[in-house]
Each structure stands twice: as structure tokens, then as C-alpha cells.
Amino acid sequence: MRKGKPRLGASSRPSAGTALLLSLLLFLLPACRNAQTPSRTQTRYLFDTVIKITVYDPFDDGYYKRAGRQRPDLDQALAGAMNLCQNYETLFSRTIEGSDVWRLNHAGGQPVEISSDTAELLRTCLFYGEKTDGAFDVTIAPASLLWDFHADSPALPDPTALAEAAARVDFRQVSAEGNRVCLRQGAMVDLGGAAKGYIADKTAAYLREQGVEAFLLNFGGNLLAAGGKAEKRLTAPEDLEPFSIGVRDPFGAASSLAASVQLSDGSVVTSGTYERYFELDGRRYHHILNPADGRPVENGLESVTVFSSQSADGDILSTSCFVLGPEKGMALIESLPGVEALFLLADGSRLCSSGATLTGEPGKLQIQPEG
């Protein structure tokens, strides 16, 4: 029999000196580990949510020498990434005066010259507007601005005003030619259902340009993973371990998980009834709206999580599927190569797309996207 490690029992209580040494070691341990796999994390409030960027530099000198590359400057990359996000907020925000979206919404039907980023995102939104037959509608703004999910004493919008607003929601009222965009009088744009995903993709591209190969972006539950993580310095990217990513249990506390998935590269985006809502007279009113009547969607779904390579697609698709409902939503996912989804329903059932399997409670999710 192997001898067990000595254990600290009542008879071997440490002396004050040993205790001090132990606590010093415990204090130093995380610092040592940091020295082995440097990482930097920054959190900021942007896009009406908390965004968190973590960048890693898990490789040893040999790796960079062999690849003929410079070790990335994590501080510089992180600062640049945050700057980029800040700049996108000043383009896409509906409320920041002078933003592209603000200028579009205040143009009174006149054409407006916007940045190529905003035009690109708008075109993607219009593409999905067609694809979802208007379930995803980037002109949801007249309706969405009548719902205040931050109010101290929330109230329902006036029904007549909401019906009038919903009548103005129609993505076909947007015409775009290059960067010149025109909204028909009365139409307004809200990029809230797509912007975080788009910005995550752009941030990822920027970090890669800076030589950062492993990072995790969390933009208010909109996740984008690259590379993986490491406990100690590695010689090659193949040795990185996947990130463990949780999908929240819609019925539990913020920290309780319905599923977890191991993911090295890719995007995971969830749209749920618990992301932004208020409760009134025992009913929950959340922020994903039916473009037909401007009211929160009620179709038995509690959350939709989409796995894709591009986060812009994932963000738009999670909102879209939520509006489309379990059947049409899953049919849309199945029609798209390389995209998988997990739908959690109010009755406790869980639906997976054909390239995803969920086992156990809480579920372990395996993704094998085809295509």
C-alpha cells in the first residue's frame, strides 16, 4: 500500500511560524501561476451591459521563435480592444446624440451618410429581416423605446401608442446604397439585437491582429472564445484546453447552469426572458419584442442559445429564433450550416439542434456542427 500524504490532524497543528509561511505561500501561489500564464482582464459598462475581455499569453519563448513572431503586448491589446468597443458604442447607440443611429433616426426621412461599419451591420440586419420574414426587425425602435426596463416603478406602455409604434416597424422601410442610408419618415433603427455580436467579431479580429491567440470576450452573456486556456506555459496552440462555458438555467439563480459546453473557438449567444425585464401584477415583461404588436414574445421559450463561428450571426439568430418560436426557430437553425442551438422551454423541456447533444442534469452539451 502506498503511504498517504501527511495530513494536518489535531496532533500536528502548525506552529505560528509554519502558519505564517503557509499563508505566505498561499498568497504567492496565484502570483506564481500568473507569472507562468499571463492574462489580463478588464470589465466595463458599455452597450447597456457589462462587458468583460480576457486576453491570455500562454506560450513559451520557443513557440514565438519558431513562429517568427513577437510576444503580444497584452496591456496594449486589451486597451486597444476596449477603445474599439467604446468607438462602436458611439456609432451604434440609439441614445448618444450624433451617433450614426441617432442621426438616422432624426433625419426625418432624408438620406444620411453613415460609417461603413454601421452600414455593414445594418445590411446584415436587413439580410436576416428577409430570412426570418420580419421576426428579426432592425426597425423595432418605435416599439422598444416605449418599454423602460430600467425604471424604478415600471409601467406598461399605453396600448394605443404601442399599436401606433408597431405599425411603424418594418425593416423594408430602410434603403441602403453603400454608406448612404435612408429611413422612411417615422421609421427608427435599434441595433440592440445585433450590435454586441458584431462588435465581438470585430474585437476578435483586432486581438488576432495584435498577435493575441487566446482570449474570451463576454459582452453581457454574448460570448466569443478563441484558442483556449492554459494552466502553464505551452509550446503550441494544440495544447490549449477549451474554455468551459455555461448556459444559465432560466428558472434558477443567476449562477445556476442548465448546461455547460467545452469550447475552444466560436461564439455562444443567449437571448432569454431573464436578460432584461420587469414584473408587474405577477407577470414578466421582457425585452424581446414581437414586431407585429410591439409586445414581449410569449411562445413557451425561456431562452435560446446559438453556437456559431461569427458572433454577429449568433446574436441576430438568438433574437430571431426567440421571436420565431420553438418550431420555426429550430427549422431556421437546421437550415444553416455550422450553426447549432439549445432552446430551453417554460415547461422545462430542452430542444437541441441535430449537431448538438445534451446529457445529464445540468446538461453537458456536445457540439458537432456539420458544414
Site residues (vs ligand ADP, CB under 6 A): 136-138, 140, 144, 190, 192-193, 196, 220-222, 271, 275-276, 287-289, 291, 315, 318-319, 323
Question: How many whole angstroms separate alpha carbon 345 and alpha carbon 314?
Answer: 19
Q: CB of residue 180 vs ligand ADP: minimum separation in angstroms?
A: 23
- Site track 301-320 with Mg ion (rule: CB under 5 A), x = hit: --------------x--xx-
313 touches, from ligand ADP, Mg ion, none (C-beta below 5 to 8 Å by class)? none
Q: Closer CB to Mg ion, residue 228 or residue 272? A: 272
Q: What is the DSSP letter of 273?
A: T
Which residue, among 364, 182, 353, 184, has the nearest Cα to 263 in the 3D structure?
A: 364
Q: CB of residue 364 vs ligand ADP: minimum separation in angstroms?
A: 24
Q: How many CB atoms lie within 10 A of CB 59?
A: 25
Q: Closer CB to ligand ADP, residue 237 or residue 326? A: 326
**Total binding residues toward Mg ion, as defined by CB under 5 A:** 4
Q: CB of residue 250 vs Mg ion: minimum separation in angstroms?
A: 16
Helix 326-334 and helix 311-324: axis angle, to 10°?
A: 150
288 touches, from Mg ion, ligand ADP, none (C-beta below 5 to 8 Å by class)? ligand ADP
Q: Closer CB to ligand ADP, residue 193 or residue 355? A: 193
- Site track 182-201 with Mg ion (rule: CB under 5 A), x = hit: -----------x--------
Residue with nearest beta carbon to ligand ADP: 192
323 touches, from Mg ion, ligand ADP, none (C-beta below 5 to 8 Å by class)? ligand ADP
Helical residues (DSSP H) of the chain, grouped into ranges: 16-36, 61-67, 74-92, 100-105, 116-131, 141-144, 159-167, 195-209, 311-324, 326-334
Phi then psi for 74, rounded to 5 degrees?
A: -60, -40
291 touches, from ligand ADP, Mg ion, none (C-beta below 5 to 8 Å by class)? ligand ADP
340 touches, from Mg ion, ligand ADP, none (C-beta below 5 to 8 Å by class)? none
DSSP string, 163-230: HHHHHT--GGGEEEETTEEEE-TT-----TTTHHHHHHHHHHHHHHHTT--EEEEEETTEEEEES-B-
Q: Which helix (H) or strand (E) holds 52?
A: strand 49-56
Q: Closer CB to Mg ion, residue 119 or residue 316? A: 316
Which residue, among 174, 170, 160, has the nearest Cα to 136 in the 3D structure?
A: 170
Binding residues (CB under 5 A) for Mg ion: these are 193, 315, 318-319
